[in-house]
Amino acid sequence: MEIRERIMEQLQKTLVDMDSVHALWLEGADGLDRVDEYSDIDVWLDVDDGTEEAILATCLEILRQFGALDFVEVVDHPHPKIFQCNAHIAGTPEFLLLDICVQSHSRGSEGCTFVRGDVAEFPLVLFDKAAVVKIIDELQIPEAEMRSVYSQCLDTFEQQSRLRKYLLRRKFLEATAYYGKYVCGPLVTMARLLHTPRHYEYHLVHITDHLPTSLVKRLEMLHAVSSLADMESHLPVANALFAELQAKLREAYPFLVEAAEE
């Protein structure tokens, strides 16, 4: 049996009988059925409040059954009810990093509600004794949130003068930074608002799997810059793509027309 499957089997076998552990599921490549030889393992657990750190320690002990841990990193997660660490087992493939997140049971289904058919996030549930993980048919981001993100994209993209001054000054490094911030950045967010609106904050993470191939190719071309001349020639193309995305978004979400006029 592959080491990946053995690890998942041992986690499930050990944790399912612990009263304080309510659910165990995998996200990332496992949930989306995209596992390859470079995939890590994104482990999620729901546990009784107050037992989070102990369960994290238990997970690490389970991993040590497969070998010494040559890397352990405790992550200060921004959510107060999520406890996280990353680990790697010596002798396993270098890419087989385990990202373990333990959430307090009082968090409920806030962060583990998934939409059927989602191309970016979906769980592989190993067990769920408390019906914590929810699968629903549709979930829209709030209109106010989309309006805010859309308006920010417009405002940022309109500030291309910040880029142009460095193109005129012939300063490549500064121009590259501003090209990314004021051209590519808002373009990617607009593309995500259109195709993966609930995951607009993912930026370039797994974007090749999330957007239509034709759009990915256009974004790849715009990101491929190695000179000032590249950026100068790409700007008209970027402006045309931005206008196209804006028109499609306003057609799909009419309330964004008002956001553009504010």
* Per-position b or e across 24-43, b if 16+ CB within 10 A of its CB: bbbbbbbbbeebeeebbbbb
Which of 87, 119, 136 finishes a domain?
Answer: 136
Integer Cα distance of 240 and 98 in angstroms: 42
**Tally of CB atoms within 10 A around 161:** 9
Same domain, 108 and 170: no
The pair of structure tokens assigned to 237 is 């193309």
Its domain, for residue 216, covers 143-261
User: Which of 136, 165, 183 is the endpoint of a domain?
Assistant: 136
- Say whether both 132 and 165 belong to one domain: no
Cα 246 to Cα 254: distance, rounded to the nearest angstrom: 11
What are 88's strand-pairing partners?
71
pLDDT at residue 260, rounded to an integer? 55
SS3 (DSSP) at 134: strand
Residues 185, 120 share a domain: no
Helices vs strands, H then E, count in the chain: 11, 8
Q: How many domains does the chain have?
A: 2
**For the whole model, what pTM was predicted?**
0.86
Name residues whose C-beta falls within 8 Å of residue 1's C-beta, 6 or more positions apart in sequence.
Answer: 9
Residues 93 and 147 in one domain: no
- Residues 175, 197: Cα–Cα separation, whole Å: 29
Considering the domain architecture, whether residues 185 and 202 belong to the same structural domain is answered as yes
- The pairs formed by 85-94 with CB atoms below 8 angstroms and a separation of 24 or more are 85/56, 85/60, 87/60, 87/63, 89/3, 89/7, 89/63, 89/64, 91/67, 92/3, 92/66, 92/67, 93/3, 93/37
Q: Which of 119, 123, 124 is nearest to 206 (CA)?
A: 119
Q: Which residue has the tokens 């049996």?
A: 1
pLDDT of residue 261: 59
Beta strand 21-27 with 124-128 is antiparallel
**pLDDT at residue 257, rounded to an integer:** 84
Residues 67 and 171 in one domain: no
69/84 same-domain check: yes
My answer on whether 195 and 230 are in the same domain is: yes
Tell me which residue of 217, 216, 234 sits closest to 163, measured CA to CA.
Answer: 234
- Which pLDDT value is given to residue 184? 98
- Measured in degrees and rounded to the nearest 5, phi and psi for residue 205 equal -65, 115
Half-sphere exposure of 158 (CA within 13 A, CB side): 8
What are the per-10-residue average pLDDT scores of the chain (262 residues)? 90 97 97 94 98 97 97 95 98 96 95 92 97 92 93 97 97 98 98 95 96 98 98 98 97 82 58
Q: How far is CA 227 from the centre of its chain?
A: 30
Please check whether residues 95 and 177 belong to one and the same domain. Answer: no
Q: Can you give the CATH number for the domain in which 90 is found?
A: 3.30.460.10
The helix (H) or strand (E) run that includes residue 10 is: helix 3-15
User: Same structural domain for residues 127 and 151?
Assistant: no
Q: What is the pLDDT of residue 110?
A: 87
Of the residues 119, 136, 153, the one at which a domain ends: 136
